[in-house]
DNA sequence: CATGAATGAGGTTTCATTCAT
DNA sequence: TATGAATGAAACCTCATTCAT
């Protein structure tokens, strides 16, 4: 058998005709719908197909298996966060610490909060996929951007940046999720940002800077 | 199929007899073994029973269903962390901020790090259960202890404590997991603690204290 | 995942209780029934289970997958033919050529003809399984027995035996199947045996013997 | 090539237009490629179409369903063997027994051996189709030719010919396949022919001839 | 005629849970 | 009480075939 392959996780084919573009889009939307309504544990390929108004067969024409579908979802959403952070980072090079932090926190938190429910739904996916492939890839990209940005701070101790970056990501991720779980009334979001800024400033001053 | 309300989530009977205690203990150990060796996705009641050296039937005598088993695991583990934190909190009443933070961070991080692999395995469970039932219960207990502890700080703004506590938990949880994922060489743990202390001090000074 | 194993093809567990012995037997019988009635192409695990009066789950408790079931069938039936031939061979050591041939042909043809329909059904299986594992093993055993038997002929050229053995098996197999397909009225069977004997005698005199 | 073919074995329908002929030919080749590379179990209409460089739709324009495609393959290949045997038979009328046997064996074995892998691939098909339709038709034609040929032997017992013919086909088929499975080094092929000749001569002398 | 997206019945397999022994 | 065989709903996935473009 040819079945020894570790099972492809990438989408199967790029639609050629126009009709199929619609199908793919419908599947994409349906997946989120199901995720929001039923949760990952109850997300089945059949149910997704149903909600998308297509047949299972169609779903499998574009994604070789369930995991590939989930990964595609994950990828698409992480990309958005990734892109947002990238922009914020690059625009913050050489700014003073305060502005830098404000920018990156704004970008990250807003990206997550904008579609709070989707973010939470997507978060569920992470534990569901052998996400090594590209989840970490997006994260790595963000890490690189953050690292570069922090490197433009005057007087920074370069070799200590990686750990700081990790702390930032872990903290932003955890805290943002916590606020989302708490229903995130707008004022909480504002407060979250302020708090993060205080913490990060302390973090960076302690860890990275002499003065 | 849909999550019909009832379905008890609490262990069926508290082991009274000698033999029962052994069985429950064996199941507990076996669950962790399977979790470590096969992951949540491959954790089946049959496999757990096999590894525990008992029959599935016996397993179901102590836990009404799979979820109850997982919740029991979660509960037991969190209890340890909870108890540790509780002690640390109570011993820190009226201490100066620095010592307070040092104590609670030590307690939390050490509790997690001591059995790193188990902690990670247990973490997988959280996404598996409708964790509302008691996960938050233990967490709530910790929150109360933290709240009380922080309340002993001179000049504190009481109404702002809850948010600070949530931030602390989210941050400690996220950062600790991050370090565990990175294989946690001992020096990283030490650094993690220092960093958390800096961040929490900033957090509390900003949020809770006048001076 | 632990799924990289080439997929076990051997029965799963040997029944311990008595009840399960019945189940296995029922599955066995049902498989043949389905094979006879619907053919391999229409043999599904569900259908087999139904006819056996058990649930699919039960089937999979004893055979890890469909192929394992088919192989078990194949094995059991080939074993019968194998055993029959073995006896005939061992009883024919040192007999004159004529008697030798008569014995082995009798054994082989009768073993096949006795349950003609089952034999034909089983024959279908061969093309269905990656039968390398033990199909050839049984055949090899028969080859060994034939080889040993022929080796007791006086004046035999030992190094030429293997090819002769292969020819015998191919010929007996092909011709027997042909007669079975033709509904095998008893007189045809008798004639088949005589013909085979003439052919094998010529074969052996030409290939193996000086005089 | 078409001209030398006896009309009774001619393909059933000849593609009329240029392009159609190319497409059919491409599908034919592709089917064999897939058969050789992936085996019958993995032969899907889509895969064949892909390899042929046409769409599935086109495939279904020439063959009403999968089985028709497979049967066409079978037919085409058997036709070659059939035609070859037919010629050999007709050229052997009234020849002495030895020459007769030599001719027909040569024709049959060479036809199979020439494209050993294709022959084996095609053999797989037989179990896949409800081969009654035309498999036996080609075989019947060969039987007729053999029968006629054997009828030219002096002193033959006509009513016994059919059985002898069946034995010959079964024996040649089985033995040839056996040698092909064994990788058929050239010397084995030669030996196969010699052996078959000895066996057939014995067969015919025993069954058909007085003297 | 060609294309290839869409279909969906049906096949294999898993696993939480029950219940007779 | 312990056992483990039996259950069967439900999940994933395939592929021959159709039909709108």
Domain B7-207 has CATH 1.10.357.10: yes
Tell me: pLDDT of A133 over 80.
Answer: no
CA dist D87 and D90 (Å) reads 5
Nearest Cβ partner of D173 from C127, C174, C195? C174
Mean pLDDT of C73-77: 88
Write out pLDDT tens, residues C104-141.
Answer: 999 999 999 988 888 888 888 888 886 666 667 888 99
pLDDT of residue D207: 87
**8 A C-beta contact, residue B35 and residue B121:** yes
Please say if the pLDDT value at position C161 is more than 90.
Answer: yes
User: Does C3 have pLDDT greater than 50?
Assistant: no
Structure tokens belonging to residue D189: 């092929």
Per-window interface: A 63-102 vs D, CB < 8 A: none
Token pair for A199: 């913490």
Nearest CA in chain A to D39: A1
Write out the E strands in chain A.
none
Are D119 and D60 within 8 A, CB to CB?
A: no
User: Residue C198 and residue D202: Cβ atoms within 8 Å?
Assistant: yes
Looking at residue C183, its pLDDT comes to: 72
Cβ of B46 < 7 Å from strand E?
yes
| Mean pLDDT (whole number) for D23-52 | 94
Residue corresponding to tokens 């389905």? C34
Q: Is D173 on the interface with C (CB under 8 A)?
A: yes
- Tell me the pLDDT band of D2, cut-offs 50, 70 and 90: very low
**pLDDT of residue C78 exceeding 70:** yes
Band of pLDDT at residue A17, cut at 50, 70 and 90: low
The answer to whether the pTM exceeds 0.85 is yes
List the 116-155 stretch of A: residues with Cβ below 8 A of B. Answer: 124, 127-128
**Protein-covered nucleotides on strand F (Cβ within 7 A):** 1-21
Write down the number of H helices and E strands in chain A.
9, 0
Nucleotide with minimal C1' distance from the CA of C54 is F6
pLDDT of A76: 87
Helix (H) or strand (E) holding B179: helix B161-181
- In 3-state terms chain D splits into helix, strand, coil percentages (rounded to 5) of 75, 0, 25
C2 touches strand F (CB under 7 A): no
pLDDT at C1 over 50: no
B148 token code pair: 């009380």
Residue C18 or residue B198, greater confidence? B198
What's the average pLDDT block by block, 10 residues per block, for chain B (211 residues)? 50 59 90 93 96 96 94 88 95 96 96 90 83 72 96 93 95 94 84 95 87 61
pLDDT the model gives residue C6:
63
**C-alpha separations of A109 from A101, A188, B162, D65 in Å:** 12, 12, 20, 57
Residues A139-151 pLDDT 10s: 899 999 999 999 9
pLDDT of C92 > 70? The answer is yes
Say if CB D202 and CB C201 are below 8 A apart.
yes
| Mutate: best of B164, B202, B207, partner A, most A CBs <10 A | B202
Confidence of residue A4 (pLDDT cuts 50, 70, 90): very low
Average pLDDT, chain D: 86
> Lowest mean pLDDT: which of A131-145, B65-79, D57-71?
A131-145
pLDDT at residue D139, as a whole number: 87
pLDDT digits (tens, 9 = 90+) for D116-161: 888 988 888 888 876 565 667 888 899 999 999 999 999 899 999 9
């Amino acid at each position: 058998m040819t079945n020894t392959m570790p099972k492809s996780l990438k989408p199967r084919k790029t639609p050629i005709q126009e009709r199929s573009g619609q199908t793919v889009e419908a599947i994409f939307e349906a997946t989120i719908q199901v995720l929001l309504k039923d949760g990952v544990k109850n997300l089945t390929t059949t149910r997704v197909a149903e909600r998308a108004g297509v047949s299972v067969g169609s779903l499998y024409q574009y994604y070789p298996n369930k995991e590939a579908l989930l990964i595609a979802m994950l990828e698409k959403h992480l990309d958005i966060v990734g892109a947002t952070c990238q922009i914020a980072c690059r625009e913050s090079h050489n700014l003073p610490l305060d502005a830098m932090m404000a920018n990156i926190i704004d970008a990250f938190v807003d990206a997550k909060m904008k579609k709070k429910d989707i973010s939470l739904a997507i978060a569920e996916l992470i534990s569901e996929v052998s996400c090594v492939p590209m989840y970490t890839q997006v994260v790595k990209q963000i890490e690189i951007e953050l690292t570069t940005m922090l490197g433009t701070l005057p007087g920074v101790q370069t070799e200590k940046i990686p750990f700081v970056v990790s702390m930032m990501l872990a903290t932003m991720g955890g805290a943002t999720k916590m606020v989302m779980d708490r229903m995130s009334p707008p004022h909480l979001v504002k407060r979250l940002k302020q708090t993060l800024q205080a913490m990060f400033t302390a973090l960076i001053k302690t860890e990275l800077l002499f003065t």
